[in-house]
Amino acid sequence: MDREQIKKIIDSPDAYDESREETVYAWFRDAYSKRMRWVMICVYVQYIVLLVPMVYSAVAFFRTDQIRYQILHATIFLFCNLWMGFISVFGWVMLQRPNIGREFKRLELRIAELSEAISDK
């Protein structure tokens, strides 16, 4: 079997199964499963813990007249803001984690289907 036939088998629209497609709903379903619960709890707890000093420092920044305290509150605000960004990226990485294993399994099944199709022809 030559490359064109193999490419034709892989790209054939009749073999495409829409139920195998990964959706955002499946991502969130996997993210809130029992296995990933501790990750989401940690992310939300850190959001709450960081939101309090962030809001306080934003309000205190505009209330104070001394430059030294404005720098302090701006630094606290920026640190909390950056840390929330890091936590968001961590959450998205953990959201993709079950996806990678599923993609490996899907690739293995696709290779097995392809090898069966090649051996039949």
74 close to 61: Cβ distance less than 8 angstroms: yes
Residue 100 falls within a domain, yes or no?
A: yes
Cα 11 to the center of its chain, rounded Å: 28
Say if 13 falls within a structural domain: no
Q: Does 24 fall in a domain?
A: no
Domain membership of residue 77 (yes or no) is yes
List C-alpha distances in Å: 55 to 17, 76, 77, 80.
48, 10, 8, 10
Mention every residue, 6+ apart, whose C-beta is less than 8 A from residue 13.
Answer: none
Query: Is 98 within a domain?
Result: yes
Q: What phi and psi, each to the nearest 5 degrees, are found at residue 9?
A: -65, -45
Residue 83 neighbours by CB under 8 Å, 6+ apart: 46, 50
pLDDT of residue 77: 97
Q: pLDDT 10s per residue in the chain (121 long)?
A: 567 766 666 666 555 555 556 677 777 777 777 878 888 888 999 999 999 999 999 999 999 999 999 999 999 999 999 999 999 999 888 877 766 777 777 788 888 888 887 887 6
Asked if residue 56 belongs to a domain, the reply is yes
Its pTM stands at 0.62
Task: Note whether residue 50 is domain-resident.
Answer: yes
Cα–Cα distance between 66 and 50 in angstroms, integer?
A: 24
Q: What is the count of structural domains for the chain? A: 1
Does the residue 48 lie in any domain? yes
In which domain, by residue range, is 91 found? Answer: 34-120
